[in-house]
Structure 1
Amino acid sequence: MFDLIIRGGILLDPRSGLKQTGDLAVNGRHIAAVGDLTDQDSVRSIDARGCYVTPGLVDFHAHAAYGISDFSLPADLVQIPNGVTSMVDAGSTGAADFEAFYRHNVVNSIMTIKSFLNVATIGQLTHQINENPDPAMFDTERIEMLVEKYKNQIIGLKLRQSKNIVGDLGLKPLEGSVALGERLGLRLSVHITDSPGEVSETLDRLRPGDIFCHMYHQKGNTILDDNDRVLPEVWEARKKGVLFELGHGAFNFSGKIAKAAIDQGFLPDIISSDLSMLSAFKAPTYSFTYILSELLNLGMSFEDILKRCTDVPARLMGIDHDGFLKAGRLADIAILRIVEHPVHYHDRYDNLYEGKHLIKVESTIKEGAQLYRAYDFL
């Protein structure tokens, strides 16, 4: 007898290519069986007919240093009801406060959390004062110590290079951060909204595996030319191996830019929320699955969306097995339903557009424990 059987759902696993209607059984913390389990008994059963049964979602960019950074949110509380079982903190803390974040937030989280370390010593501490991205002020010795001590936790470096942050330094923080990443063997994620210089100047400096974050922003130079075509240098950077991340956030997503790029086939490599106290449960961001719904309404397929918030970010976190919905894997599972519902979008750039579908989370299971269930999902 199994502890739990999820019956009759559409099983989707982008990593293994699984796509079939069937059942999934859980024993303890792990998936025990996948397939036709009609004749099998269980202590509990979930009727998932009409739903997608997927790996637990991965939000590769949010802020989880609640109580340390003003930017951060109580991650478990916000994310788990939205199908998220793993996430990455996107540089909320730097060398001075990372260990406090690790001990206070990461260790105590129900979710699996990995981290980007901000190159600026104080990280994104407060809305009142921007961090100092001057490479001359990098605490390189302490960064090296932290990267070695937490080598299974820190998966990259983070830089915000908006003009209001870097000022007269221009692209020097980017150059210093790339050099530091090369020295430490870490990828770099760059917040590129309203960056100095041309887009090509940033892309030329990024290495394969580095991340161009907030790809669909609409402030300053964007990934589109004057005719709303994706820039040739953007396509070339993708060929080179630069990764393009959504990083929606409260201020960094334009439906106009996204629609034009998606129509041309330029999709995100990574879908992420950039959720913080600025954006959680507030327009225009609300939640991770609300963002996924927005992309669905802008023309991405559900399967394309799912791959970019499970398979791809999980690999970047070091989860590199051959499939999630397989016997023996940890039972991190989201049960999702796509419902028809009119949605009216008004982004931070005053673009207006409509949608007709929402992705509803029916249940979230983390390591076999059902941590969220919609009140009307029986």
Structure 2
Amino acid sequence: MTTATAASGAPAAASSSVDLNPPPPPPDPNQEEQPPPEEQPPPPPEEQQPPPEEQPEEQQPPEQQPPEEEPPPNQDKQLQQLTPAEEKNLQEQIDKLEDKKLKDQLTATLKEAQAFINDPKTSKADKAIYNRVLKDMQAALKAIQDPKTTPEQKKQVTKVVAGLNEAVKKSLDPKASAADRQSFKELASFMSNALAVAIDPKTKPETRAFVMLVLDNLSTGLLAATNPETKPTKPEDEKKIKDTLQKNANALKVYQDPNSTQQQRDEAKATLDQLRDATQNSQYLSLVAELKRLKAPQECLTSVENRTKEAGWPDGSLWGVADETCAETVQAGAEDTDSAWSEMFQCILDQPFSQCAATVPKNSGP
């Protein structure tokens, strides 16, 4: 900037000397000799050259920083792809399962996951996620076969593995939308992380029990939400339940993340406690009492209880009431206009159940 100012100043000085020298004739030739000074523009460029030399020097450091901050390769080393021996061992662990249906499902999903990992189009980040999920699944299957694992623990871990498998399967479904695949991929990643914590011998017993309980509910909820016989039939309801499951999975992730603040952990724990204690909620208990008053069949009561455990109150409970096994009970409840629950039952008949939470009686607790 200073160089440009000096350059503009030079011609101004020249013009003032021209005005002063015209009277005497000799100076006129001197003025003609002044054109050489006009050739003095070369110096300004020389003065302008240094700045560009300084600019590249200032631009070079930032360009050199990115390569220095390239530790992703190190992360890849931490999550290496399954070796042929590990893949064989994983299949062997699957073959040891007693549930043939689950065995077949896991085998099919394993092949899909391996094909996805080996696809050149798959990003390194996704390769790392699915490799880790498969390794965590392998560890869980080994835990099932461990003689030290109790029958109850085996049953619980098996259920979680089934839910995790469903999440992986849905995340790789080519017929699903990109948003759904991303959602299920995140869910699979969260569940995988939590499962690894739960089966880690170093995990405190109380933490293990809590995490496994939440994983159990998430797994059964995921399976119910994707099972044609129990899944929500309306798109609004399907999205609501999926979002609820995702919210609980996110809470579980925050709760077990060592980098979470105490406040974050407390908030996540509160969310998970609501899910865990959903069947003890006073409004839920009042709803069950109303269903029994209407002589709801046991299948209906079981549906409401299971969906409440899986997706909490009120979303899970409304999901359960909307089940076909409760159809006659819902109709009877809507017709009983003297009951405080009549509006809710009528809403379930006319609207997606996800829009009926506001119709639940406010003072419905026992």
Question: What is the TM-score of this pair, normalised by structure 1?
Answer: 0.21
Please identify which structure carries the higher strand content: 1
**Greater Cα radius of gyration, structure 1 or 2:** 2
Higher relative contact order (CA 8 A, sep 6+): 1
